[in-house]
Structure 1
Amino acid sequence: MYTRQTNQIVQSALESQAAVVLLGPRQVGKTTLALDIASQHPSVYIDLERAADRQILTEPDLYLDEQAGKLVILDEVQQMPGLFKSLRGQIDRRRRSGFRTGQFLLLGSASNVLLQQSAESLAGRVRYIEMPPLQLAEVGTDQLNKLWLRGGFPDSFMAGNNQTSMDWRLDFLRTYLERDIPALGPRIPAATLRRFWTMLAHVQGGLLNAASLAEGLGVSGQTVGRYLDLLVDLMLVRRLQPWHENVGKRLVKSPKVYVRDSGIVHALLGIGTTEGLLGHPVVGGSWEGFCIEALLAAAPAGTEAFFYRTSAGAELDLVLRLPGEGIWAIEVKRTTAPKVSRGFHVGAEDIKATRKLLIYAGEHEVPIAKDVRALPLEQAIGLLRGL
């Protein structure tokens, strides 16, 4: 077992908020974390995917009134959207009884659906926290290549060998496509959504070209948008928006799209070994997506993320607007010879970057140009965590 950094974040939030919503894709470790927290407090755990547990909450107020003073953990809470109104009343009544914090921990695997359900009911009473897969700081920097290849889902990363890890990820994909997604309501053929997901993996980190994807799938551009919204909502795909604040520049307006877990990218493309990955055309996009997810997981709350590209060739892989820390311009390259292009310098000047970084595959921090430093991924993560 690895100590998850999210654990401390959730514990701190429960000390100051009545309710915490912990979001993350299935199998990322939310339940394990919640049960660990439960072992340290008087608590009750309810899994809303189990019919018996849903039956307990047929009359939610009757049951929850009896649990006053305990931490109530509701897993897969999007299964019972009607609960949110009851939770609001429970929180308010408990506040009047002196129980102001640490009342509810809600776990969910569909972000926008869950946020829409809870936004009005629990406004001002809840904190939202996203739980990422295993991070480099949690597993150790010596495990970087293994984490990149297998991804951060715990069962995939900790598998006994690469083949067992690949088998787990293929089962994960099959379960999502055949069971989990239909359970949320969308009636999308599993084979079609699998092809769409695989097409995104092939163009990892590329600009969204809905027309090309639609043509390849034989569907409309509107349908492609619906498929993408679904995978984004399930926290399986990231839609990185373009920077939009430079008046007078001809900016690229399409978002970039990444399959968020590198291990899922590799499973979709049938890449099972580090050697196979290093020789595959997707290696650059895979490394870029892996680094971007690691950096965003380390960034402080309130950070906004973009990319920057103009028709004239200025380009930044990642732009971070950090609360109180200015704007960081970041380039990501799978190279041991650090060098940035003229387009990077132009882009950093355009956005008035206060810090300029190249994330590369070397082992040491080195200056490569005026105000530009090349860093290994773990050092860049350390910089962000230190803010």
Structure 2
Amino acid sequence: MFRRIHLDRVLAALNGRAAVALLGPRQVGKTTLALEIAERMPSVYLDLERPSDLAKIQNADLYFESIPDRLIILDEIQRLPDLFPVLRSLIDINRRRGRRTGQFLLLGSAGNELLRQSSESLAGRIAYIDLPPLNLLEVGSDRMDALWTRGGFPEAFLEQAESFDWRLDFIRTYLERDIPSLGPRIAATTLRRFWTMLAHHQGQIFNASNLAGSLGVTSPTAASYLDLMVDLLLVRRLQPWFTNVGKRLVKSPKTYVRDSGIVHALLGLKDRDDVLGHPVAGGSWEGFVIENLLAVAPNGTEPSFYRTSAGAEIDLLLRFGKELWAIEVKRSSAPALTKGFHHACDDVKPTARFLVYPGTEAFPLRDEVTALPLADLMNRLRAHG
């Protein structure tokens, strides 16, 4: 499975910045992509979970100085935050020597905390690239149902017979090993219940008090659980779009477990028929569409949703450059728009309006809305990158 889209993005970023952070959850393919890059330029790969590699950088300054003119790849960088000031010093030394780009590729499984650490030390020196699970353009439209059902983690997608068991093991490993190793002391059973509740409420407004009551914790504690799952790049918190339209807007975010295969595993749904027979099917498909679109969206794209108390609603708004796209997501093979979408577009005034559905043909709807297969809209969006 060759991830050309993201490979090109990383190579372009390395040509423009001293350091690049490649962020994504575990098992998503960061190391595979990094090793592909290592074959294209002189490189050294270090896994910061491996004692032998940690030993090499006990004196990081001396070690890095001993391998000049190479790309240094540091995997699981969030496990060694004290390394960031060292990287800044070396980048500045190299800059004075005339080397300005392509020095470090940092791989991380945690998002916001890694960004905070690196932004403090490497401001102006680093670019950030997200590596999500496999998307539809990478696997082909003919495998859309398989990608939706199994999700985009490469092993889960490719191993049809073992996919469900792999996803259960993935969930268990995160809860019992990875999360505790990063510091939070939360009972695995509690966090699994929270994760499962989010899956049940896929694409719904986050209500901390309701979830807290079910878990027997406080609302701030439930909110902190969400912060953790977002930081681990396992859950997306989609913020509402704010504008002064004189309407009562929903101000709480919507949440999505980012990989549809993990949604289905959390809910015990083993195959496509199980998914289609479950109430989560619509929310799961909506999250699947959103993640696929954002995987190919131009850098700096701002995603949000729009909803008013009167029922006007847009599932997904994408702002990039001068564009503002309004996107409705339908699971039906014969989709129809609601009045709420048209009213919302009257409020927001997007530059383009689309309806994504699981069919194979594009066709016009009223009020300048185009119905499109997911892959078609992904290609249109990618063309703006």
Same fold (TM over 0.5): yes
Please tell me whether residue 357 in structure 1 is matched to residue 351 in structure 2: no
Partner of 1:38 in structure 2?
A: 38
- Distance in 2, matches of 1:231 and 1:3, equals 25
- Distance in 2, matches of 1:322 and 1:289, equals 20
Contact kept? 2:306, 2:313, Cα under 8 Å: yes
Q: 1:211 aligns with which of 209, 212, 220?
A: 209
Name the SS of the counterpart of 2:49 in structure 1: coil
Partner of 1:145 in structure 2?
A: 145
Q: CA deviation at 1:15?
A: 1.1
Contact kept? 1:288, 1:332, Cα under 8 Å: yes
Partner of 1:69 in structure 2?
A: 69
Q: Considering only aligned residues, what root-mean-square deviation do their CA atoms show, in Å? A: 0.9
Partner of 2:343 in structure 1?
A: 346
Q: CA deviation at 1:2?
A: 2.9
Name the SS of the counterpart of 1:232 in structure 2: helix
- Distance in 1, matches of 2:106 and 2:359, equals 41
Q: 2:299 aligns with which of 283, 293, 301?
A: 301
TM-score (norm. length: structure 2): 0.98
In the TM superposition, what whole-angstrom CA distance separates every residue of 1:104-138 from its partner, at most 9, and x where no partner exists? 10000101111111102111111010011101111
- Distance in 1, matches of 2:57 and 2:68, equals 15
In the TM superposition, what whole-angstrom CA distance separates every residue of 1:187-225 from its partner, at most 9, and x where no partner exists? 000000000000000010000111110011000001001
Contact kept? 1:2, 1:139, Cα under 8 Å: no
Name the SS of the counterpart of 1:176 in structure 2: helix
In the TM superposition, what whole-angstrom CA distance separates every residue of 1:81-112 from its partner, at most 9, and x where no partner exists? 01010101111111222222111100001011
- Distance in 1, matches of 2:344 and 2:131, equals 31
In the TM superposition, what whole-angstrom CA distance separates every residue of 1:20-66 from its partner, at most 9, and x where no partner exists? 01000000000000011111211111100112211211111010111
Partner of 2:224 in structure 1?
A: 226
Counting only pairs closer than 5 Å after superposition, residues 123-142 of structure 1 correspond to structure 2 as: 123-142=123-142
Q: 2:233 aligns with which of 232, 235, 247?
A: 235
- Distance in 1, matches of 2:246 and 2:382, equals 35
The count of residues paired between Structure 1 and Structure 2 equals 384
Partner of 1:263 in structure 2?
A: 261
In the TM superposition, what whole-angstrom CA distance separates every residue of 1:315-344 from its partner, at most 9, and x where no partner exists? 1100111213x2111100101112101100
Q: Give the gaps of 5 or more residues in structure 2.
A: none
- Distance in 1, matches of 2:359 and 2:140, equals 16
Q: Give the gaps of 5 or more residues in structure 1.
A: none
Between 193-202 and 116-125, the greater mean CA deviation after superposition? 116-125
Counting only pairs closer than 5 Å after superposition, residues 1-387 of structure 1 correspond to structure 2 as: 1-161=1-161, 164-324=162-322, 326-387=323-384
Between 52-61 and 310-319, the greater mean CA deviation after superposition? 52-61
Q: CA deviation at 1:19?
A: 0.8
Q: CA deviation at 1:4?
A: 3.8
Contact kept? 1:246, 1:350, Cα under 8 Å: no
- Distance in 2, matches of 1:43 and 1:127, equals 19
Q: CA deviation at 1:74?
A: 0.3
Contact kept? 1:4, 1:134, Cα under 8 Å: no
- Distance in 1, matches of 2:300 and 2:39, equals 30
Name the SS of the counterpart of 2:365 in structure 1: strand
Amino acid at match of 1:337: A
In the TM superposition, what whole-angstrom CA distance separates every residue of 1:346-387 from its partner, at most 9, and x where no partner exists? 001101111111101221111110211110101010110011
Q: CA deviation at 1:279?
A: 1.0
Q: CA deviation at 1:67?
A: 1.3
Contact kept? 2:245, 2:347, Cα under 8 Å: no
